[in-house]
Amino acid sequence: MEVSFQARPINIKRAEYLKSQLLKSNFVDIVCHSSSDEDTIASARAMKWLLDKNNIPSRIISDSADKTFNYKNGDTLDISSQKLPNNPSGTVLCVDFSEYTRVSSELKKYIEKAKNLVCIDHHSGPEPILHGNNIYVDLSAKSCSGIILRFFEALKINPPEKIKQFLYCGMSDDLKKNKYLEFADSALFPAKTKEFMQDKNTKYLYTKIENELPTDDKIEVNKHLNILMSLNKSEKMFKDSLPEKIQYNSNGKFGYVIIPAGDEQWNSLGGDNKRTSAILRNFRLSALKNNSNLDSAAVFYPTNSGYRISIHSKGNNVLKMFEHIRKYFPEFSGGGHPERGGGGNSGLNPQECIRWTNSVINCIDDFYKSR
Ligand SMILES: [Mn+2]
């Protein structure tokens, strides 16, 4: 048996082998990676459906699954890893990850004790969970949901509409992260990029599931993924208020908005969460797009544990900027990518937040003065 499991049409023997590994046990723990995203959750739900169909009890385990995944009312995850028993009673199936750095140390210990292990994934990493026939990794696949679709296809299994909708959601979200799909603020359907059109397997699979799903199902998923399209009245007001609050450094290269600790509007929106961070990200990107003199745009805002800056830079200066800040302000912790990043501080009182913010702003101003 070959090790690799392609998102291309799957050899029936390989698919049957995987299925037999899952069905031979009397219980399956389906494990998602930490910071569970749509793809790992959709993959887990589709596999749980298959196990249910074959009368094998199972449950979905996640270190950290946001409740926002439940765009279908009443559809919740089975269990969190905090409630785990000491030992897995049957098979452990890892979806959308296949190495230990993707889970907490508690979950790692749990997985290590499994009598039978299966992994389905499209990533590779430094600490593989297993080697051999039971690990199916296809690095060419753009989502684990896509691999699961191929798996069902090989076995001639036609999942119900609800499962297809989950898989469509998992695929769309990973394709968005890969820049294969682009969501415009107000469009009901994402645009397909050149990269998407050139990837034969992705194009085939995504088009297939698109054709099989009713329009309403697809719109529901897209609204869920495209947060800016489904803003409520107060979220919209907040979004519209941000450009008015922008301040600039001395040469206008750096634009920023400060949301003070204890800000009422911010707190009424639930503080730092998936929805507010989508709004802040949109503000930074539009500010950069609309002002050609601006090199970077940032927001300072309170989080659950402290205070934070999130920043985007057109000239890919984020990491250089952070390095510069640390020269004068060594306790600043920040990281990310050249084009976007963030840094934060925990346990500050409001007075300290102001001081922290001013220090960061002064350092960034100094960074731009020298350029
Ligand atoms: Mn994935």
Phi, psi (deg, nearest 5) at residue 101: -70, -10
CB-CB contact of 101 with 126 (8 Å): yes
Question: Which CATH number applies to 12-228?
Answer: 3.90.1640.10
What percent of the chain is modeled with pLDDT above 70? 92
Read off the pLDDT of each residue in 62-80 and give the average, rounded to a whole number.
55
146 CA distance to ligand 1 centroid (A)? 9
User: pLDDT tier at 126 (50, 70, 90 boundaries)?
Assistant: confident
Helices (H), the chain: 12-23, 38-53, 105-112, 144-154, 161-177, 194-198, 200-212, 215-225, 233-241, 264-268, 274-290, 318-328, 350-369
pLDDT at 73 exceeding the cut of 60? no
158 CA distance to ligand 1 centroid (A)? 22
309 CA distance to ligand 1 centroid (A)? 27
CB-CB contact of 71 with 224 (8 Å): yes
User: pLDDT tier at 366 (50, 70, 90 boundaries)?
Assistant: very high
Q: Pick the closest to residue 21 from 51, 52, 55 (CA basis).
A: 51
320 CA distance to ligand 1 centroid (A)? 30
292 CA distance to ligand 1 centroid (A)? 35
Q: Pick the closest to residue 69 from 249, 274, 279 (CA basis).
A: 274
CB within 8 Å of 352: residues ≥ 6 apart:
none
Q: Which residues of 290-301 are buried (b: 16+ CB within 10 A; e: fewer)?
A: ebeebbbbbbbb
153 CA distance to ligand 1 centroid (A)? 19
* Rounded Cα gap, residues 90 and 103, in angstroms: 19
220 CA distance to ligand 1 centroid (A)? 20
Written as one letter, the residue type at 371 is R
User: pLDDT tier at 79 (50, 70, 90 boundaries)?
Assistant: low
Count Cβ atoms below 10 Å from residue 202 Cβ, excluding itself.
Answer: 25
321 CA distance to ligand 1 centroid (A)? 31
- pLDDT (0 to 100) of residue 92: 96
170 CA distance to ligand 1 centroid (A)? 8
- pLDDT (0 to 100) of residue 74: 41
233-369 CATH choice from 3.40.640.10, 3.40.50.12780, 3.10.310.30, 1.10.760.10 = 3.10.310.30
- pLDDT (0 to 100) of residue 177: 85
pLDDT at 20 exceeding the cut of 90? yes
Strands 181-182 and 191-192: antiparallel
CB-CB contact of 48 with 30 (8 Å): yes
264 CA distance to ligand 1 centroid (A)? 36
**Token pair in block for residue 86:** 């000491």
43 CA distance to ligand 1 centroid (A)? 9
- Helix, strand and coil content of the chain, in percent to the nearest 5, comes to 45, 15, 35
Read off the pLDDT of each residue in 230-253 and give the average, rounded to a whole number.
96
- Angle, CA 26 vertex, CA 24 and CA 30 arms, to 5°: 90
40 CA distance to ligand 1 centroid (A)? 6
Give the pLDDT confidence of 147-160 residue by residue, as tens digits. Answer: 999 999 999 999 99
pLDDT at 40 exceeding the cut of 90? yes
pLDDT at 221 exceeding the cut of 70? yes
- pLDDT (0 to 100) of residue 78: 57
33 CA distance to ligand 1 centroid (A)? 9
The crossing angle, in degrees rounded to 10, of helices 12-23 and 38-53 is 80
250 CA distance to ligand 1 centroid (A)? 43
- pLDDT (0 to 100) of residue 9: 67
pLDDT at 122 exceeding the cut of 50? yes
30 CA distance to ligand 1 centroid (A)? 15
- pLDDT (0 to 100) of residue 274: 82
pLDDT at 10 exceeding the cut of 70? yes
CB-CB contact of 280 with 248 (8 Å): no
91 CA distance to ligand 1 centroid (A)? 21
141 CA distance to ligand 1 centroid (A)? 9
- pLDDT (0 to 100) of residue 149: 96
324 CA distance to ligand 1 centroid (A)? 35
* Rounded Cα gap, residues 80 and 77, in angstroms: 8
Domain-wise residue ranges, the chain? 12-228, 233-369
pLDDT at 69 exceeding the cut of 50? no
356 CA distance to ligand 1 centroid (A)? 36
Q: Which residues of 338-371 are buried (b: 16+ CB within 10 A; e: fewer)?
A: ebbbbbbbeebeeeebbebbeebbebbeebbeee
**Token pair in block for residue 236:** 């919209």
